[in-house]
Structure 1
Amino acid sequence: MDAIVLLRGAYLSAAGLVLFVFAVPALRSRFLDYGPRSSRTEKKEDAGEEKKGVSASAVGTLLDKLAELKVPHSWFTSFYAVSVTLSLFWAAELLVRGPSFQAVARYAPDTAHSMSFSQVLVVWTLMLAQGSRRLYECMAISKPSESRMWFGHWALGILFYTLTSVAVWIEGISSIRAHTPSTRDFLIQGPSARTFIGVLIFLLASGFQHDCHAYLASLKNSKKTDGGAATSDYKLPEHPAFNISLTPHYFAECLIYLSLAIAATPKGGVLNWTFVSALVFVMTNLGVTAYGTGQWYERRFGSDAVKGKARMIPFIF
């Protein structure tokens, strides 16, 4: 069993699962929608169309019961807490070649086409920065919400960040085994052209995504209903980025994982295919969400609000 092949297969299988759920209307309406799109009002509007053909049978009842397994949308924060924690955990494991590293490395073959140790250090730093930034945004910028998401969506997110904490270094196992840690590892050296491009894309995409998240948080204003319960009033985004894409923050996420695939390219390779597999999952998962977001925007703000705008990737999708 090759750990690298297994990791890539896990990403692609998860992407396939998301596409399958998206392709079946009865599953899509129950398990993919979350946040404002999964409000009771939206569900009532979509019930007849999305669940058409699913009778009140044992299967339909079972699906309804499974769909009720939801967690607070605020649990998104746990994705990035897990990401940061595992980044620190694997840093310690790699430095001392601990038992967890050995357990994974046992199933990864030595190869001459390996990431260098400095590449592993750079990509680990980028992933730690990504997790830390998103954790900060969830805790300090995001507004409180009473919306909920399906438990499976949360579990899939935890799985993704667990796998990605390993993807950071798994294609550099040969270099890690041969490397003797020293203070020289922390000296700033001139990066290769590929590393420079990857880091540059990462920094630009991260800054762009942070700006989008901060802007979206400013649009969501809490207000009180007559009964005293808190609700949310969403406004149509007017930020320039949202004039070409309905979800530019999703597009930025795709660019971030593309940058990691570039920066983590093994010697003699074109890209890091483990991170490319992760990118396929990210694009699939966010793509189906962006599709639902486009429908939600059109229902809430009218067809003119989405006219001429991509759902996620400008000029493509």
Structure 2
Amino acid sequence: MAMISIRLSPARCIQAVFILSSCIVLAMAVLPTAERKLLLSYGPRRSQDEIEEITKSSNETATALGQVPHSWFFTYYAFYSLCAAFWTTQYFQERNRSNLLRAMAQTQLEMAPASSTTTGTQLALVWVMMMLQAVRRLYECFVVMKPSKSTMWFLHWVMGLGFYFGISMAIWVESSASPSAADFTTETTMKAAVALPLFAYGWFMQYHCHRNLAKLKKYSLPDQGLFCYLVCPHYACECLIYSSLAIAAAPTGRWCNQTLLSGAIFVVVNLGVTALGTRTWYAERFGMEKVASKWIMIPFLY
């Protein structure tokens, strides 16, 4: 019997991982209540009593995953910054030296030449946008947010690191094949004109949302700024930020970079499930009437 060989380009591999991860999150969201809380509830929404109660009634294999401090969120942005520095160093190495980025770019160009057309200027723009997000989040972790003893499951932490590693590659994989195309065209200018305002709004508003959360004397129902209209506006801003990256890096003839779009889809799915859990927790703690008039994460849709 002949063997069927399926070869995926580097970009397709990254896209497949993001989509598969989204499916895993959705699968966890439809688990029975106890198992769902075990895997998806984290941070201030989970008390120690709840952890012990869930652990007693859940599968021992799942509970063996362990917990890490919720404050380890800073490692996501530190790890992404290290990855970004690595790929940047690879990009600016001498042209006659082989490296991982150049090999990935060449493979992408050979297997999917039509998709590897993002210009060098777009690459620089998206790199700066994502670094601004990572640096701001690092600042918030150490300066804005209050110290907390809450925890998250080890699985959450590992998945988060994997996401930022994937995003660090996604930014380069469809751009590095044509590093000499450094000038903006009319088309790329239009994409930047759409992406930058979306990014700026999401970036600034997410910062204000996090400041509002940090100002609460104790973890209670926030009702300032965008929290008047959305249960999790900081998640909505995150979705906006990653969607803007996909637009800014879109290859010629397209309005979205498919690899970064798959990353944005994972962000929407992951945070959408978490936001639903947050709304349920708020309703149980403060009463459904407090959240009934608010959208969960996306205005007019969800």
TM-score (norm 2): 0.89
**C-alpha distance in 1 between matches for 2:190 and 2:291:** 39
Local SS of the residue matching 1:316: coil
* 1:198 paired residue number: 195
Counterparts in 2 of 1:235 and 1:37: CA distance versus 1, 3 Å: closer
Q: Match of 1:152?
A: 155
> Whole-Å Cα distance in 1 between the matches of residues 39 and 273 of structure 2?
12
Asked if residue 22 in structure 1 is aligned to residue 29 in structure 2, the reply is: yes
2:124 corresponds to 1:104: no
Q: Shift of residue 106 of structure 1?
A: 4.2
Q: Match for residue 222 of structure 2?
A: 237
* Aligned 8 A contact 1:248 1:312 in 2: yes
The answer on whether the counterparts of 1:108 and 1:173 sit within 8 Å (CA) in structure 2 is: no
Tell me, what secondary structure is at the counterpart of 1:192? helix
What CA deviation, in whole Å up to 9, does each residue of 1:65-91 have, x standing for no partner?
23xx11000100000001112112211
Deviations 1:263-302 (A, max 9, x none): 0110111311111100110011101110110011011111
2:178 match: secondary structure: helix
Identity over the aligned pairs, expressed in percent? 37
The reply to whether residue 133 of structure 1 matches residue 136 of structure 2 is yes
Deviations 1:213-254 (A, max 9, x none): 0110111x3xxxxxxxxxxx3232121311111000000000
Within the alignment, does 1:2 sit opposite 2:9 as a pair? yes
Is this contact kept in 2: 1:72–1:146, CA < 8 A? yes
- Please tell me whether the aligned partners of residues 87 and 127 of structure 1 are also in contact (alpha carbons under 8 angstroms): no
* Distance across 1 between alignment mates of 2:184 and 2:269: 36
Secondary structure of 2:64's aligned partner: helix
Moved more, 200-209 or 235-244: 235-244
Q: Which of 13, 24, 32 pairs up with 2:20?
A: 13
Secondary structure of the structure 2 residue equivalent to 1:175: coil
What number of residue pairs does the alignment pair up? Answer: 287
> What is the aligned-residue RMSD (CA, Å)?
2.2
Cα separation, 2, equivalents of 1:137 and 1:189: 36
Note if contact 1:15-1:281 (Cα within 8 Å) is conserved in structure 2: yes
Q: How does 1:198-277 map to 2 (within 5 A)?
A: 198-219=195-216, 221=217, 233-277=218-262
Aligned position for 1:279: 264
Deviation at 1:112, TM superposition (A): 4.5
Q: Which residue number in structure 2 is paired with residue 301 of structure 1?
A: 286
The gaps in structure 1 that reach 5 residues or longer are: 55-59, 222-232
User: Deviations 1:30-74 (Å, cap 9, x if unpaired)?
Assistant: 1111012221344578789xx6xx6xxxxx2222323xx110001
* Whole-Å separation in 2 of the counterparts to 1:95 and 1:7: 23
Inter-CA distance 237–282: structure 2 relative to 1 (3 Å threshold): same
Specify the SS of the correspondent of 2:239: helix
Shift of 1:188: 9.9
What corresponds to 1:230 in structure 2?
A: none
In the alignment, the residues of structure 1 paired with residue 45 and residue 55 of structure 2 have an alpha-carbon distance, to the nearest angstrom, of 13
SS of residue matched to 2:221: coil
Gaps of 5+ in 2: 1-7
Distance 1:276 1:112 in 2: 17
Q: 2: CA distance between counterparts of 1:112 and 1:63?
A: 43
Alignment CA distance shift 1:44-1:63 (3 Å): closer
**In 2, are the aligned partners of 1:198 and 1:260 still within 8 Å (CA)?**
yes
Alignment-derived partner of residue 225 in structure 1: none
Structure 1 CA distance, aligned partners of 2:48 and 2:237?
A: 30
The equivalences for 1:49-128 within 5 A come to 60-66=59-65, 69-96=66-93, 99-110=99-110, 111-113=113-115, 114-128=117-131
1:167 to 161, 170, 174: 170
The answer to whether the Cα contact below 8 Å between 1:241 and 1:248 also exists between their aligned partners in 2 is yes
Residue 40 (1) aligns with residue 48 (2): yes
Structure 1 45/311 Cα, relative in aligned 2: closer, same or farther at 3 Å?
Answer: farther
Cα distance in structure 2, aligned partners of 1:145 and 1:65? 23
